[in-house]
Amino acid sequence: MEDRAGRGKRRRTIHHAAWLLLALAACAGIDKEFTQAFVDANRRLDEDAWAAAYSPEMELLAVGRDSGRLELWDARRTDARIAVQAHALRTQGLAFGPRDGIVITHSASGNVRFDDIVELENGPKVWDARSGELLAAFREDDWQPGAVSATPVPGLYLLASYDQLHIYDHARRALVGAPLVLQGDGGITSIDWDAASGLIAAGTDKGLVVLMKLHREAEGARLEVLDRHAPQGLGPRNDLLAVMLLDGGTKLVTVQYSPARAQAMADGIPALYRGLQHETVRWDLATWKREHAYGSQLAGVHQAGFTRGEDWLVLAGVAGGTAKIEGKIELVDLRSGVSWLYKANTSHATAVLLPSLREGLILQSGGATRIKYLDQGEAVPWAPRR
């Protein structure tokens, strides 16, 4: 007779095959007119987007708005959009779970109660990515803002409440295991994971990188810390805006605020943007050797992100000096080191890449703009710096 381990392996194999078939079906075709339809629908929209993410597996675009609204756009069609009021305040973070067909959101603020008169639910929430149905919400009074992410372990997700990293089991619709607490090391601002190695990387607002593995256990799940490293030391303004694992988890790209760069540029930057000067570096994780420092034309950055499966970073910020500050989007090719700069009409634009179309979208004040990778008619190239 088949033992328990054999049955479990067979179920996982069937589940993976079913997920693969669904993914292949979903990839049947993104509508080539989708990006233009998105631009047309966003004309003269008076609400800013603060987060945008794209799932190549589901061919779904998620947008988080300043009002707390979540929009889910099916890129296989030009007329399929669902909008829900996800949070009372700004929807600032998004993560997909393609195997489970979900999207997870988090807000710029945590859960708030004022004498039982005002109640703001801004903890992370889990949504059905196709219908917009709310599947789970975390309403604990002390839940604070933090990054959210899928993991290499199917069905398990990471939800941060400032310096606490919780494990969410979607099948149970519940948190499982004990949270990992980074007491004194800052709030968790960014998370990435690598399927081949099972490695997870998390960055904090004090500049700490934590490398982990997630283990599923009979009682739930457990996070194992493998390494901790602060590339620029620990400090209150050393935020890691993004961490990105490359090459089977052997390399790590970090986008981090740089106190040294901020000090060097202080005379040419308006007070509003001082301290937002960044550094993008690729590290060898075996030695923490700095392999490459990427050049940038941005004077300040407020957001960094990427689309899974693409070796490109998307940086949102401003360029210019004291005379003129302009909103910009910078795409960084992590292989060649070349970056491309695009105009934005606000200092707090956001952008997202849609790899199958080789296009991107800049979401800015009053609308959206289409961009094409490496289109020299739209962008300004910048040579790499080693």
Q: What is the pLDDT of residues 40-76, one digit of tens each?
A: 999 877 788 999 999 999 999 999 999 999 999 999 9
Cβ neighbours for 135, distance < 8 A, ≥ 6 positions apart: 102, 126, 127, 128, 170, 173
Q: At 12, is the pLDDT very low, low, confident or very high (cuts 50, 70, 90)?
A: very low
User: Among 92-96, 113-117, 168-172, which is the least confidently predicted range?
Assistant: 113-117
Return the pLDDT at 19: 42
Distances (CA, A) of 132 to 83, 99, 175, 351: 7, 16, 21, 22
One-letter amino acid of 35 = T
Place of tokens 């390399």: 251
Return the pLDDT at 217: 92
Distances (CA, A) of 257 to 233, 261, 263, 276, 296: 12, 8, 11, 6, 13
One-letter amino acid of 13 = T
Taking the alpha carbons at both ends of the chain, their separation in whole angstroms is 60
- Report long-range pairs for 331-336 (Cβ below 8 Å, ≥24 apart): 331/360, 331/371, 331/373, 331/379, 332/280, 332/294, 332/296, 334/244, 334/246, 334/253, 334/282, 334/294, 335/311, 336/384
Q: Is the pLDDT of residue 208 over 80?
A: yes
| Interior angle at CA 156, CA 212 and CA 285, nearest 5 | 20
- Name the token pair of 102: 């979900």
- Name the token pair of 381: 């190239």
- Closest by CA position to 96, among listed 135, 149, 168: 149
Return the pLDDT at 347: 84
Mean local confidence (pLDDT), 320-329: 76
Return the pLDDT at 115: 55
Task: Specify the pairing of strand 278-284 against strand 289-294.
Answer: antiparallel
Return the pLDDT at 380: 60
**Under 8 Å between Cβ of 180 and 186:** no
Distances (CA, A) of 110 to 134, 138, 167: 18, 10, 18
Return the pLDDT at 23: 42
pTM to 2 decimal places = 0.87
203: exposed, middle or buried (Cβ count in 10 Å: 0-12, 13-18, 19+): buried
Return the pLDDT at 24: 43
Q: At 247, is the pLDDT very low, low, confident or very high (cuts 50, 70, 90)?
A: very high
8: exposed, middle or buried (Cβ count in 10 Å: 0-12, 13-18, 19+): exposed
54: exposed, middle or buried (Cβ count in 10 Å: 0-12, 13-18, 19+): buried
Mean local confidence (pLDDT), 160-172: 97
Return the pLDDT at 280: 96
Q: At 112, is the pLDDT very low, low, confident or very high (cuts 50, 70, 90)?
A: low
